[in-house]
Structure 1
Amino acid sequence: MHIVLVDDSRSALFALDIAVREIPGVHVTAFEDPATALEHCLKSPIDLLIVDFTMPKYTGIELVAELKRQNVLVHIPVIMVTSETERSIRIQAIETGVTDFIGKPFDSIELKARVRNLLALRKAQRDLSHRANRLVDEVDKATEELAEREEEIIWRLARAIEFRDGDTGDHISRVAHISKLIARDLGLSSEHCRMIYLAAPLHDVGKIGISDSVLLKPGRLTPEEIAEMRKHVEIGVRILENGTSDLVRIAEAVAGGHHEKWDGTGYPKGISGQNIPIEARIVAVADVFEALCSERPYKRAWPIEEARDHIIAQSGSHFDPACVVAFQNQWTRIAALMAQDAPKTITVEVPSMETPDEPVGTLQSPFKIHVEEPVRETPDVK
């Protein structure tokens, strides 16, 4: 353990050094100049400071006060060696951070006993600190593992919802990523963004309670079927209600509010503006945009630029204007995300009979593949 001695008297410093070095397991550094001692203590960790009271440049109290100010003596014991008996000076020293006193001239046996006791306390404090740090590390690791398991469960459940909804590709994953981008741009905390990212995949969890004849029907729904489809919001809320974790509570807000509209014309409650939870307002933008870009049994996919323009046009009516601005700010990233899973254009050609044989595995055709421009569907999505 590292002990620092400070005394401007060379003979007194030598006597202190001799006495303290007799204690097993200590490393001693001695200074005559308190300014040099201060510099050393600011750079190197110490376990005990033994300091004289009366010194030039710094008194012992001033040296201790400066080290305290710079957070060097947190939990570090201090012995002051002094011939002062004045009560006010001792009280000032104690208030500054001095732990113990020993008189001048000091008794070597008494000094070593006091040093051993204070070093034992310091060692116990260090051991406790190390143990606390280990516990913190273990708790952080366990928390991280729980978060990973929580995320895994969310994504597995989300995948089950996708299959129930006719295997809508990576819709849920893209909605989650777009929601996180919007949340970040709005300035929400990193943890809040993470919660929205994990809650977004559950926005349509209530669809597991909708019949296949309605959920998978190609084409438009009848008014009765629309009413049936809209029940997925209520079902989703019932599945997620009364959650004890922040994630489940946010997921409930998203499931219950992602079909509400900024102007109050949405469902199921017809609430408007900031009465709609911010998480639901964010996911609403991501959900509608991604759904428009995706092919479904009842609609063709829109080009992403047209879907983007629709979102912008609905700012202030369907969508929270702030969320739409955030969506626009993140457009480069959103477009790149959508491009990752965009269908690849394949040109298939085969040469005429005069063309030499191609290597095995090259499929060729003399015909050009023509894809009709899809008919624009209504922006309403199930």
Structure 2
Amino acid sequence: MRQPDALAGNKATILVVDDTAENIDVLSGLLRHDYKVKAALNGALALKIARSLPQPDLILLDVMMPDMDGYEVCRQLKADADTHHIPVIFVTAKTEEADEAQGFALGAVDYITKPVSPPLVLARVKCHLALRDQAKHLENLVQQRTQELHDSRIEIIRRLGRAAEYKDNETGLHVIRMSWFSRFLAEAAGKDEAWCDLLYHAAPMHDIGKIGIPDQVLLKPGKLDANEWHIMQRHAQYGADIIGEHSSPLLQMAREVAIFHHEKWDGSGYPQGLTGTAIPLSARIVALADVFDALTSERPYKKAWPEQEAVNLLQEQAGRHFDPELVPLFIACLPRIRQIQQQYQEQCHSTD
């Protein structure tokens, strides 16, 4: 609840709008002890002041003014995203019920008739400033809670992604690196910031389905036989099933990435054998990022490929495994990719 502004040392600003200077003087005299007061003698000036910084916290607005009446001023204020939040109180000699109804219909919060009652003006101003502060406080709380929910959802996704990688002899650093690589490539492909954010946070879930693969298949040191390979391929569908159907754009993209990141441009991938642009862009991007990081990362069972050898493979597989338009864009991202590789280096060493 707002403290009295004169005591709080943070006075609210009231804009008084009236085409008669004497009326402005009356209202200013009532308000200036507790509030900062600005004045405008016409609607055009009132709009200019309302749109300038710092904005008024509340507007006392006359109705009957030449050129632009108060109703039109209010209409323009409420139609402008920068000023629609400013409370407007009409102060007018128009006393008909229809006039009041019109004022409220335009978005005014109150309607005071002339000649004004000083205690009434002060009470209404104080009340509507308090309501405005309360609304702002509630809005901030909602934004805070929404952000907390968003952050919690992202953290859960990250941890589930890391769980899948640990089960597969990978490390949590892999999902961090390939998520950054995916973001860089999405940016290079011209996607907007919101889409790139979604992909960055969805990418760690690409292999979550491996949680459902038996260890004797997932951790087998040698080559998989035909049946084992069939079992391994199920992790794409398992991932989609784990994430499930959800209205959240983030979870929708995570599911898309999980089920389609092993599809190949030429149709030889799995689980659906999709070709070309029938494969969602998110999955085409993650496929590149995932393979490149797997090739260039050291593991207990293999040494890291030199960067150029990995790049050569990407180029050879352009139009076969990978989207041919994305491969050169990925290569152009290598300076940024190297920075992430250095920041999130593996600590393991390959064995002979």
**What is the aligned partner in structure 1 of residue 169 from structure 2?**
166
Q: 1:61 to 1:96 in 2, by over 3 A?
A: farther
**What is the aligned partner in structure 2 of residue 329 from structure 1?**
332
What are the superposed Cα offsets for residues 316-335 of structure 1, whole Å, 9 maximum, x if unpaired? 22112333233123221112
Deviation of the 1:22 alpha carbon? 5.9
Contact 2:264 2:275 survives alignment (8 Å): yes
Q: 1:147 to 1:218 in 2, by over 3 A?
A: same
Q: 1:112 to 1:165 in 2, by over 3 A?
A: same
Deviation of the 1:165 alpha carbon? 0.9
Give percent identity, aligned residues only: 35
Contact 2:209 2:236 survives alignment (8 Å): yes
Contact 2:295 2:304 survives alignment (8 Å): yes
State the TM-score, normalized to the length of structure 1. Answer: 0.68
Deviation of the 1:24 alpha carbon? 9.6
Deviation of the 1:63 alpha carbon? 8.4
**What is the aligned partner in structure 1 of residue 319 from structure 2?**
316
Deviation of the 1:343 alpha carbon? 6.8
Partner SS state of residue 16, structure 2 = strand
Query: Is 1:247 aligned to residue 250 of structure 2?
Result: yes
- For residues 176 and 284 of structure 1, the distance between their equivalents in structure 2, rounded to whole angstroms, comes to 11
Contact 1:17 1:30 survives alignment (8 Å): no
What are the superposed Cα offsets for residues 45-90 of structure 1, whole Å, 9 maximum, x if unpaired? 253145875xxxxx364688578657679642344569xxxxxxx9
Q: 1:224 to 1:6 in 2, by over 3 A?
A: closer
**What is the aligned partner in structure 1 of residue 267 from structure 2?**
264
Matched to 2:59, the amino acid is D
Q: Whose Rg is larger?
A: 1
**What is the aligned partner in structure 2 of residue 85 from structure 1?**
none
Query: Is 1:77 aligned to residue 89 of structure 2?
Result: yes
Query: Is 1:150 aligned to residue 158 of structure 2?
Result: no
Query: Is 1:111 aligned to residue 119 of structure 2?
Result: no
Gaps of 5+ in 2: 1-11
Matched to 1:206, the amino acid is G
Deviation of the 1:122 alpha carbon? 5.0
Matched to 1:205, the amino acid is I
**What is the aligned partner in structure 2 of residue 356 from structure 1?**
none
Gaps of 5+ in 1: 54-58, 83-89, 103-109, 345-370, 375-382
RMSD over aligned CA atoms reads: 4.3
Query: Is 1:304 aligned to residue 312 of structure 2?
Result: no
Q: 1:299 to 1:223 in 2, by over 3 A?
A: farther
For 1:204-243, what aligned pairs fall within 5 Å after superposition? 204-243=207-246
* Aligned length in residues: 323
What are the superposed Cα offsets for residues 232-260 of structure 1, whole Å, 9 maximum, x if unpaired? 22322222233343333222211111110
Contact 1:172 1:201 survives alignment (8 Å): yes
Matched to 1:138, the amino acid is L
State the TM-score, normalized to the length of structure 2. Answer: 0.73
